[in-house]
Amino acid sequence: MNAIDFEISVPQLRCFIAVVGAGSVAEASRRLGMSAASVSKAITRLEEGAGVRLLHRSTHAMSLTEEGEALLEPAREAVRAAQAFEDAAAHAADGGDKGVVRITGAVGFVRHVVVPLMGELARLHPEIRLDVRATNEIVDLADGGIDLALRSGSLAGLPGHLHQTWFSFPWVICAAPSYLARRPTPRTVAELDDHDLVGFRNPQTGRVHPWPHRTPTGAGGSYEPRPRFSFDDGDAVWDAMLAGAGLACAPLYLAATSLRNGTSVEVLEQWRDADVSVAMLRRDRRLTPGRLTTLIAFLSARAPKLGDLL
């Protein structure tokens, strides 16, 4: 094969990298905001152009071929180089003040914290367009062409990135007044065993999310709930709690509105664990587009107001 006949595109490489990271075409297409058919076609064309098979495909699994393993890192390097060129071109044209900013965050976080800010962003910064990827999976910013990630918890294992804390929040255990009217309020974490619990089941692992709390010694602890009701959607968990189904554990930014209007009541407040930080994470690169700097400043000034509930 002549090098001159070998044509590849950055979108094809992005699709290849995304499928490897996601483990399936379906999940990769969801992360990329494309159809599964388009992702499959992009990889097929990449394989045809390269003259090698990159992936083993079967009904239940997908894995790299030997050639795919050898070409994965060069694919990542090519995508990063293309992104660097795009950044430089945008900066040369207008300082990078206009255009698209691609951000990612957990599904519930995007819905409850990011989306309510969109109207004000549109009014104040009409030059900025957002491409929001809501996913509970950790996405590689460079491979996915992501400019900004909004993530809570540990950022270990993410080298080559810059981050700044946006705000902090505790997890809270709550119940609807209607539930507490018929069941005694728990006074200790151990008493949760005697209550109806509503849990979040991680759709990737199948495991019910543990409830963080502080132990009598002041150390952090983790309660493993045995829920009467479990859902793989955080909003469904909260709505079931509000309907009186039982106790649920959620981040304070999700619980804030219902705590203020009285449709939920916090229990075991004295057992709250230490606050969790939400960080704005971006790639460490030579040129930061002005539109990204503007967005970070906009978000920094509009962290959820939780002081009255802390």
For residue range 124-133, what is the model confidence (pLDDT) as tens digits? 999 999 999 9
pLDDT > 80? residue 22: yes
The set of long-range contacts for 111-120, using a CB threshold of 8 Å and a minimum separation of 24, is: 111/235, 112/253, 112/254, 113/150, 113/253, 113/304, 114/150, 117/298, 117/299, 117/302, 120/302
The mean of the pLDDT values for the chain is: 87
For residue range 75-110, what is the model confidence (pLDDT) as tens digits? 888 888 887 777 677 666 555 688 889 999 999 999
Pairing of the two strands 62-64 and 128-134: unpaired
For residue range 44-62, what is the model confidence (pLDDT) as tens digits? 888 888 888 899 887 667 7
Tokens of 168: 């902090």
Helices and strands in the chain: count of H runs, count of E runs: 11, 14
- Chain-centroid distance, C-alpha 289: 22
Pairing of the two strands 265-267 and 247-251: unpaired
What is the structure's pLDDT at 172? 97
